[in-house]
Amino acid sequence: MADLDFPLNGQRVFVAGHQGMVGSAIVRALRGQRRCEVLTAPRRSLDLRRPERVESWMRRHRPQAVFLAAARVGGIAANQSRPAEFLHDNLAIASSVVEASRKAAVGKLLFLGSSCIYPRLAPQPISEAALLTGPLEATNEWYAVAKIAGVKLCEAYRRQHGCNFVSLMPTNLYGPGDNFDPESGHVIPALMRRMHDAKAAERDSVAVWGSGAPRREFLHVDDLADACVFLMERYADAGPVNVGSGQELSIAELAALIKDAVGFRGNIVFDASRPDGTPRKRLDLGRLDQLGWRARRALPSGLEETYRWFLAAWIETGPERSVRR
């Protein structure tokens, strides 16, 4: 296991994006595993895209460590329909928070990227060395460019200013706190929501987008949060670190698992009019293995846990709609 570089006990730790799926999981992990002061700032009181606001907030609260988990996120359809928002907002957030952290002499910053930063047809499993070696996947290149900029910001600030800023690239995530909108969500929450609504309405089929052939690797967000704490404390190098579970399957196989978790008895049909996106995205976890971390949760039980969270957190108001409490 890698040596301790920045122990979090006793530190003031800012979780930027604490209300999102990843940020709320990091807050849970810190409060459950560490004795540190967790600092958060609701979006309505701190717009992370505004550099002057972020710098002023950091002068007041003086964080010693920063988890940069704030981002404009969405599934394949949201990325395709709102490219300017995904590119602008994620660039602005990364630039503002990294520069403000430098000015505030933050001791350690961890930037959350995404596996979509890698080329569409990168050799699988995808190594960190594949970054910028080929064309990106068109459906999410806007988000990917902003996340690549974040990785490069951390490297540039380490090189020029000696900032201890690191970045990690998670594979596709799922779990509590996700966005269960059937159009803008990622595949797991979107299908879970549609199968839940179809079960309630006794509909006999649910459409899965694309061919069902693409393959994805999935990691439970609480495993990711555990990896974030581990890497914040023990990783201090320039390049990004891939974080995944090694659990890869086709979208068709995933849909069958979600069907079981929800208890939907109808048929799964494939809607070829919707995009497949990248044919395959599985991460090489060699660097993470060397550092000494592995994921714990299995996908089937993780899906069941996520469905229970969905039922508790979203009030069902009828077959077609459910609203978040």
Q: Is 131 in the site for ligand GFB (CB under 6 A)?
A: no
Q: Is 122 in the site for ligand GFB (CB under 6 A)?
A: no
Question: In sequence order, what are the residues at sequence separation of 6 or more whose Cβ sits closer than 8 angstroms to the Cβ of residue 129?
Answer: none
Residue 71: which of 92, 50, 53 has the closest Cα?
Answer: 92
Both tokens of 289, joined, read: 């293995």
Q: Is 172 in the site for ligand GFB (CB under 6 A)?
A: yes
Stretch that binds ligand GFB, among 88-96, 110-118, 125-133, 239-247 (CB under 6 A): 110-118
Partners of residue 68 on adjacent β-strands: 16, 111
Tokens 């979509």: give the residue.
116
Q: Is 51 in the site for ligand GFB (CB under 6 A)?
A: no
Residue whose CB is less far from ligand GFB, 120 or 234: 120
Give φ, ψ of 15 to 5 degrees. -105, 100
What does the DSSP assignment read for 238-264?
A: SS-EEE--S-EEEHHHHHHHHHHHHT-
What does the DSSP assignment read for 158-197?
A: HHHH---EEEEEE-EEESTT----TTTS-HHHHHHHHHHH
Identify whether 307 is a catalytic site residue: no
Binding residue for ligand GFB, selected from 39, 166, 191, 227, defined by CB under 6 A: 191
Residue whose CB is less far from ligand GFB, 109 or 187: 187
- The residues in 264-303 that bind ligand GFB, with binding defined as CB under 6 A, are 274-278, 281
Stretch that binds ligand GFB, among 39-47, 88-96, 183-191, 223-231 (CB under 6 A): 183-191
Q: Are 165 and 98 in contact (CB under 8 A)?
A: yes
* Identity at 39, one-letter amino acid code: L
Q: Is 216 in the site for ligand GFB (CB under 6 A)?
A: yes
Residue whose CB is less far from ligand GFB, 29 or 78: 78
Q: Is 210 in the site for ligand GFB (CB under 6 A)?
A: yes
Stretch that binds ligand GFB, among 103-111, 122-130, 207-215, 222-230 (CB under 6 A): 207-215
Question: CA-CA-CA-CA torsion for 94, 100, 104, 108, nearest 10 degrees?
Answer: 10
Q: Is 186 in the site for ligand GFB (CB under 6 A)?
A: yes
Smallest gap from Cβ 305 to ligand GFB, in A, equals 19
Q: How many angstroms separate the CA atoms of 141 and 79, rounded?
A: 8
Q: Are 92 and 45 in contact (CB under 8 A)?
A: no
Q: Using CB under 6 A as the criterion, what x/- string covers residues 53-92 for binding ligand GFB?
A: ----------------------xx--x-------------
Among 143, 157, 235, 307, the active-site one is 143
Residues designated catalytic: 143
Kindly list the residues in this chain that would bind ligand GFB in the complex (CB under 6 A).
Answer: 75-76, 79, 114-116, 140, 143, 172, 185-187, 190-191, 208-210, 214, 216, 251, 274-278, 281
